[in-house]
Amino acid sequence: MIRLMVAEDQAMLLSTLATLLDLESNIEVVYRAANGKDALDYLTDPGNQPVDIVVTDIEMPKMTGIELAQAIKEKGLATKTIILTTFSRAGYLRRAMDAGVKGYLLKDSPSDELLVAIKKVESGGRAIAPELMQEAWVEMDPLTEKERQALRLAKEGDTTEQIATQLHLSAGTVRNYLSSAANKLGAKNRIEAARIAHQNGWL
């Protein structure tokens, strides 16, 4: 029996997907998480039932699916991660792979492809949407992790001072990160830089 968790912030999709997977004779959905933090809290509580695979969206509040996968990797948890998303951007796939993700599928894929992916990942393999593999390595992400964090907060409308507080940096350092990111992306300002980075899947 494959013990599964589904992490998705859209309640209807979460319910539908979990119900669909639970119908399979060899799959048990042990937990439904509304965001990445909820999922990680469950996974790190030793009193909870173990989870073999988490099927997660990318863009969720509190913690993204890629951040969840990274946390699972850093904590040395046995749980494997499959990303199920609408985003076919190469940047997302590269970041997901770097975070230790074992599967990456698009939400418009047939449901039987997800079932095949779950079984493949459970047996130690990888399952990546074939249409993404070739383009995934064409254009490398030019941003550092600090630049990405600063841009992500700038995209949400935070001021330099607010970003500095959240990242525990000085305002001058944050300005340097944002300026460096804008230069790398050929952007006129932080807002345009954040837009370009988001379009490429680098945020």
Walk along the chain (203 residues) and give the pLDDT tens digit of each residue.
999 999 999 999 999 999 999 999 999 999 999 999 999 999 999 999 999 999 999 989 889 999 999 999 999 999 999 999 887 776 788 888 889 999 999 988 888 889 999 999 999 998 988 777 655 555 577 899 999 999 999 998 999 999 999 999 999 999 999 999 999 888 889 999 998 888 777 87
Task: Give the pair of three-digit tokens for residue 21.
Answer: 């997977």
Which domains occur in the chain, in start order? 2-137 (3.40.50.2300), 145-199 (1.10.10.10)
Helices (H), the chain: 11-22, 36-43, 65-74, 90-98, 111-122, 130-133, 145-155, 160-167, 171-185, 190-199
**Whole-prediction pTM value?**
0.68
Q: Give the SS3 label for residue 58.
A: coil
Three-state DSSP state, 141: coil
In angstroms, the CA 57 to CA 29 distance is 16
